[in-house]
Amino acid sequence: MNDFPLFPEQASSVSPLVDGLYLGLVAITGVVSLLIWIVIFYFAIKYRRRPDNELAQEQEPPAILEMTWTIVPLVIFIGIFIAGAWLFFRINALPANAIEIYATGRQWMWKFQHPTGQREINTLHVPVNRPVKITMASEDVIHSLWFPAFRVKADVLPNRFRTMWFEATKPGKYHIFCAEYCGTLHSGMIGSVIVMDAVAYQRWLAGGSEGSLASQGEKLFEKYACNTCHTSTSGARGPNLAGLYGKTRQLADGSSVVADENYIRESILNPQAKIAAGFAPVMPTFQGQVSEDDLIRLLAYVRTMGVEQPVATPVESPQSAIESTGAPAAPADGRAEAQPTSTTTPGNQE
């Protein structure tokens, strides 16, 4: 990067497309704007007020002119809409084989959790040339996770999971910014995404964790005593959760719902909202008792229940007790705000 860049690094599969559309728009609108400026100046000079034209010569405008500059811009604008919408669908079309990473935003830091159990603050390690899906929620206010080098951004909400994805195409270290104003240290809610080649990524993953996210979730499943009701035996007080994720579920009121991240989230925090058919509304709420991090772990566990192989777990990781915070929280670059220290890591709140 030189000192005066006009583009961020092109480091994801969609970056060249976004830049292409952007430059196309710059070209079209630049030409039109320039033409308008030239015409204004030309008219202003050629028809400047002189003694012989104190009053303008009136003429009726030809109707064809009005039609032209109504319809031609309309067609161009609709073309821009189509190009933008096509790209938007691409940016939102989640590939099937993505690595699942969970993110939590809170004033003022980003926490990332890997399926293999590593946890990071303000740093995210991802492999190159593999789609990465991020499932995220906020612990407090609205944040927005922005990877300028990947040209993707999504608001992180406090009341539900949202997902975004990218496929990094170039190893390197790039900015992570919070883009939605979130209070005092909004401009300090930054970090780095480190894109590694496959070998380096495997080595990094081997760096240790407290067991996979799902196995951490399994422990919580016992800790919160979920397993006393959600057993696989018939006549259990809670529904059997094995194989639940992604399935369509019949509800007591006759409607049905797809059991996705937000359904599971809601069923933990607000169990009375949707009652599974055939069960009594007896589950207590866990609102305020289960942290966002634990929700993510429970979700990871529920997703693996009844599945032979955990989905999208890239590698068996050694069961080391070291919590990985990745590379030192990086790009501070002379910034005044203090980075959150490891004493505030989520591991301490249990």
Partner 1 sequence: MTSTTIDDAPFIEPSTRARRNYLNDEYGVLSWLLTKDHKRIAILYLFSVTIFFVVGGIFAFLMRLELLTPEGDMFTSDTYNKLFTLHGIVMIFFFLIPAIPAVMGNFILPIMLGAKDLAFPKLNLLSWYIYMIGGTLGVIVIITGGVDTGWTFYTPFSTQYSNTKVFLTTLGAFITGFSSILTGLNFLVTIHRMRAPGLTWYRLPLFVWSMYATSVVIMLATPVLAITLVLLMVERVLQVGIFDPALGGDPVLYQHMFWFYSHPAVYIMILPGMAVISECVAAFTRKKIFGYKFVAFSSLAIAFLGFLVWAHHMFVAGISVYAAMIFSFLTMLVAVPSAIKVFNWTATMYKASVSWQTPMLYVMGFIGLFTIGGVTGLFLGALGVDVHVHDSYFVVAHFHYIMVGGTIMAYMAGIHYWWPKITGRMYPEWWGRLSAMLVFVGFNLTFFPQFLVGYVGMPRRYHAYAPEFQVLNVLSTAGATVLAAGYLLPMIYLFWSLKFGRKAGTNPWGAVGLEWATTSPPPKENFHETPVVTWDAYDYPAFLKAMRETQHV
> Hey, how many other C-beta atoms are within 10 angstroms of the C-beta on 317?
21
Q: Which residue has the tokens 């990877």?
A: 147
Task: Round to whole Å and give the CA distance between 301 and 115.
Answer: 10
Q: What minimum distance in Å lies between the beta carbon of 154 and partner 1?
A: 5
Q: Which residue has the tokens 């397993």?
A: 227
Structural tokens at position 211: 């067991």
Contact 16, 169 (CB under 8 A): no
Strand partners, 133: 100, 165
Q: What minimum distance in Å lies between the beta carbon of 43 and partner 1?
A: 4
Q: What minimum distance in Å lies between the beta carbon of 193 and partner 1?
A: 12
Q: What minimum distance in Å lies between the beta carbon of 64 and partner 1?
A: 12
Q: Which is nearer to partner 1, 142 or 312 (CB)?
A: 142
Rg for the chain (alpha carbons), in Å? 27
Q: Which is nearer to partner 1, 93 or 199 (CB)?
A: 93
Q: Which is nearer to partner 1, 154 or 300 (CB)?
A: 154
Q: Which is nearer to partner 1, 266 or 323 (CB)?
A: 266
Q: 311: buried, middle or exposed (CB in 10 Å: 19+, 13-18, 0-12)?
A: middle
Q: In what order do the strands lie in the sheet with 162-167?
A: 119-121, 109-113, 99-106, 131-138, 162-167
Q: Which is nearer to partner 1, 256 or 285 (CB)?
A: 285
Q: What minimum distance in Å lies between the beta carbon of 347 and partner 1?
A: 24
